[in-house]
A and B are shown apart, each in its own frame.
Chain A
Amino acid sequence: MAGEVVLLDAYVSMFGMRVRIALAEKGIQYEYKEQDLSNKSSLLLQMNPIHKKIPVLIHNGKSVCESLIIVQYIDEVWKDKSPLMPTDPYKRAQARFWADFIDKKIYDSGRRIWTTKGEEQEAAKKEFIDCLKLLEGELGEKPYFGGESFGFLDVALIPFYSWFPTYEKCGNFNIEAKCPKLVAWAKRCVQKESVAKSLAESDKVYDFALQMKQRLGIA
């Protein structure tokens, strides 16, 4: 079950952060290998030949790709500690549905907030907030999406919190004002050690975004 665990990742990636959090929740020792995505390593290309993307988990030499698939894999292999998926099949389906929604909608609209301007940016901001509001509805009065304990959907979403200040600065808006319950949930999550040590520092995320904007030729 234990064996060798290696994570190919990039510091500011929300997808990578999901895996870091899951590994921390389970208390798994692993080797972290930061990847330079502008100059992809042969290890990355060998371990994820189809997408050439991070994160990649390498467990006993075998690679697992796609962040949500990796988190479920970790949850299933190290099943005796801190279970992340709910036990009830309907709740599991709901958790998967909303995690997939985050990937389809939140990532994309968030990205457009810091990479576009004008009307396109305004549309992105609106879509982003609308999606967060839907998630607020799903959270309801629960402390975590997982209920009383931190779970799969919490893991899926919380990394985006490290990007909120970047979205806010680039988009000139305040997320907490629009989605106070969601931000309250996020602040609760970062109290957890597994989350606090896995999330990238927001300043560093912002620096990264500024560098990317320069590189992409976006003002």
Chain B
Amino acid sequence: MAGNDVKVLGAWPSPYVMRPRIALNIKSVAYDFLEEQFGAKSELLLKSNPVYKKIPVLIHDGKPICESLIIVQYIDEVWNSGPSILPSDPYDRAIARFWATYIDDKWFPAMRGIAAAQGEDAQKAAMEPVVEGLVLLEGAFKNCSKGKKFFGGDKIGYLDIALGCFLGWMRVTEKLNNVKLLDEAKTPGLYKWAEDFCADSSVKDVMPSTDKLAEAAKVILAKIRAQASS
């Protein structure tokens, strides 16, 4: 914990960038938020993440850490006097890591598929795996929360951060495509959890409003569609 020079390289619309910001908020650690411009990567980013050239990057005392979930674990381990982010039990940790990996490897790519889908039929088809995934995550929520507000229990934890960061984009997707992803009937636990997560003090200031995100989304979605059709 020597020094406290903490920087986050990122962009406000990115759910991945939200993850380390929430984690730092949980630990009450101040940081400089260095925003990347959409479409142009800074020298600092290219130098700090030469392998992937992607955000977020955490730079702590000059040393870069890349990959959002790895950054969150790093934050949890360095600032270990603050509230814990990972569960304390090894089995619970394995379960949290499993679902976070599932979210990144399977669920969010499916969500991106909705944006890329052209036409109502394609969109309906694209939604299926996303909704199925949410039903699975509802099961995970029941098992992990054990009746409490969050995956992490009384307080936000690793899996809350891993999934919750996508809520802004989920709401935009619902709005722009006129669909329902988080259904109160199908996934009641997650439906309530979403409200609690967004209202949390560590999340409130970094979760953009749906309207602001919808504006940014139009630019980004156009890009995703162009990539999908090329």
Nearest opposing residue in chain A for B101, CB measure: A66
Of B65, B91, B94, the residue contacting A90 (CB under 8 A) is: B65
Query: Are the CB atoms of B94 and A97 closer together than 8 Å?
Result: no
Query: Are the CB atoms of B90 and A77 closer together than 8 Å?
Result: yes
Report the bound CA distance from A72 to B93 in whole Å: 9
* Chain A interface SS verdict (over half): helix
* Chain B interface SS verdict (over half): helix
Tell me which residues across on chain A come within 8 A of B97, comparing CB atoms: 66, 69, 72
**Nearest-Cβ distance from residue B63 to partner chain A, whole angstroms:** 6
Report the bound CA distance from A96 to B70 in whole Å: 7
Nearest opposing residue in chain A for B74, CB measure: A93
8 A Cβ contacts from B182-210 to A: none
Contact code string A61-80 (vs B, CB < 8 Å = 1, else 0): 01011100110110011000
**Nearest-Cβ distance from residue B111 to partner chain A, whole angstroms:** 17
Query: Are the CB atoms of A73 and B73 closer together than 8 Å?
Result: no
Q: Count residues of B near A (Cβ-Cβ below 8 Å).
A: 21
Nearest opposing residue in chain A for B77, CB measure: A89
Of B63, B70, B74, the residue contacting A100 (CB under 8 A) is: B70
Known: A50-B136, A66-B101, A89-B77. A73 touches B66 (CB 8 A): no
8 A Cβ contacts from B91-148 to A: 91, 93-94, 97-98, 101-102, 136
Tell me which residues across on chain B come within 8 A of A62, comparing CB atoms: 91
Of B66, B74, B98, the residue contacting A89 (CB under 8 A) is: B74
Report the bound CA distance from A81 to B74 in whole Å: 23
Known: A66-B98, A93-B65, A101-B51. A73 touches B93 (CB 8 A): yes
> Is A133's beta carbon under 8 Å from chain B?
no
Report the bound CA distance from A53 to B53 in whole Å: 31
Query: Are the CB atoms of A97 and B90 closer together than 8 Å?
Result: no
Of B51, B65, B73, B94, the residue contacting A64 (CB under 8 A) is: B94
Report the bound CA distance from A92 to B75 in whole Å: 11
Query: Are the CB atoms of A76 and B65 closer together than 8 Å?
Result: no
Contact code string B55-99 (vs A, CB < 8 Å = 1, else 0): 000001001011100110110011000000000001101100110
Contact code string B150-176 (vs A, CB < 8 Å = 1, else 0): 000000000000000000000000000
Tell me which residues across on chain B come within 8 A of A73, comparing CB atoms: 90-91, 93-94
Tell me which residues across on chain B come within 8 A of A96, comparing CB atoms: 67, 70, 73
Of B74, B94, B136, the residue contacting A69 (CB under 8 A) is: B94
> Is A134's beta carbon under 8 Å from chain B?
yes
Report the bound CA distance from A62 to B136 in whole Å: 18
Report the bound CA distance from A72 to B136 in whole Å: 24
Query: Are the CB atoms of A50 and B70 closer together than 8 Å?
Result: no
Chain A positions near chain B (C-beta within 8 angstroms): 50, 59, 62, 64-66, 69-70, 72-73, 76-77, 89-90, 92-93, 96-97, 100-101, 134
Q: List 6 A-B contacts (CB under 8 A).
A: A65-B98, A66-B97, A66-B98, A66-B101, A69-B97, A73-B90
Chain B positions near chain A (C-beta within 8 angstroms): 51, 60, 63, 65-67, 70-71, 73-74, 77-78, 90-91, 93-94, 97-98, 101-102, 136
